[in-house]
A and B are shown apart, each in its own frame.
Chain A
Amino acid sequence: MAFTTRKSLLAKVRSGDEVSWREFYETYKPLILLCGGDLHLSADEKEELVSKVMCEIFRKDIVGKYDPEKVPDDVVFQYDPARGRFRHFLRKIIRNQALGIIRQRRPHDSLNVPDAPEPVAEDRWESDWEREWRQHLYVEALKELKLHVDAKTYSAFELYAIQGRSPKEVADFLDLSVSSVYTGKSRCMESIKKIIKDLEEQ
């Protein structure tokens, strides 16, 4: 599937386009917070994880120049697709930064206790990450869908499928027939499945 119109952030990152700090921050902060939760970080530590991951990703642009929480909008990130999949790059940074925070919290555990267990086992983290990434992908795919179908079709899909309104209610609200609501849903499902597949493969 070719993205010929505006792209979602994930599509832009994966195709090596420049993305702004603000857009990146707002898109990936929830994913990083969720990963921090999976790694049993406290609320403060999760916020610290967001800052550290963002600093690592934007290192050359922001370290020593800006407070990570107060970065101007014109700072951009550009991922080189030749480095491999962005999801693997991000996963590694999140894991490493989280482990750094945990080590900082309990330095004696890793230094003085030879058989201290990993805070979160690698295989558990892997499955948690897959779940978090998939959720992130769905959210991005929905944004992408909005760019690919007409406004009324998207509204019908959002009201019916995402907000759980009844087909009759949606039809009345948008001045459509119930059958048209289902037709729109069918079109959106076909599109979003293609988008998800495409985002997974890039």
Chain B
Amino acid sequence: MTMAHCTREELELYRGRQMSLLKRIACAAHLKECPKCARLLRELDEDDHLIAEIRSSVELYRNLSEPAPAAPASK
């Protein structure tokens, strides 16, 4: 089965199992044949790692952050 290259959005839908079954089968078949789209899929997986690192950093900082001490008039 042939199909045009996948867009990032289509691959996200594919990864998220949010495609119809037929589209998903077509996409899976295309990914087996198309190195370009397979690479794009790997990039999305790598993005997941970066997102996880950003998320954990944000959570860590959220827990640590406190407002700065009040700033009274100088001595």
Contact = CB atoms under 8 A, between A and B. Distances in A.
A166 B18 CA distance: 11
Q: Give the interface size bracket for B toward A.
A: 20 to 34
B58 A138 contact: yes
B71 interface: yes
A70 B9 contact: no
Question: Which 7 A-B residue pairs are closest in the complex by CB-CB distance?
Answer: A30-B64, A135-B57, A182-B12, A138-B57, A182-B9, A69-B69, A138-B54
Contacts, number: 85
A14 interface: no
A29 B66 contact: yes
A25 B56 CA distance: 21
B33 interface: no
Given A135-B57, A183-B9, A186-B9, A65 B68 contact: no
Q: Is the interface of B mostly helix, strand, loop or mixed?
A: helix
Given A72-B73, A139-B61, A186-B9, A161 B18 contact: no
Q: Give the interface size bracket for A toward B.
A: 35 or more
Given A162-B58, A178-B13, A193 B71 contact: no
Interface of A: 21-22, 25-26, 29-30, 33-34, 65-66, 69-73, 134-136, 138-139, 141-142, 161-162, 164, 167-168, 178-179, 182-183, 185-186, 189, 192-193
A72 B74 contact: yes
Contact of A66 (B64, B67, B70, B75): B75
Interface of B: 8-9, 12-13, 16, 18, 47, 50-51, 53-58, 60-61, 64-75
Point out which of A34, A182, A183 has the most chain B C-beta atoms below 10 A from its C-beta. Answer: A182
A26 B68 contact: yes
A22 to B, nearest CB: 5
Given A66-B75, A182-B12, 4 more contacts: A29-B64, A161-B54, A162-B54, A167-B16
A192 B54 CA distance: 10
Nearest to A23: B68
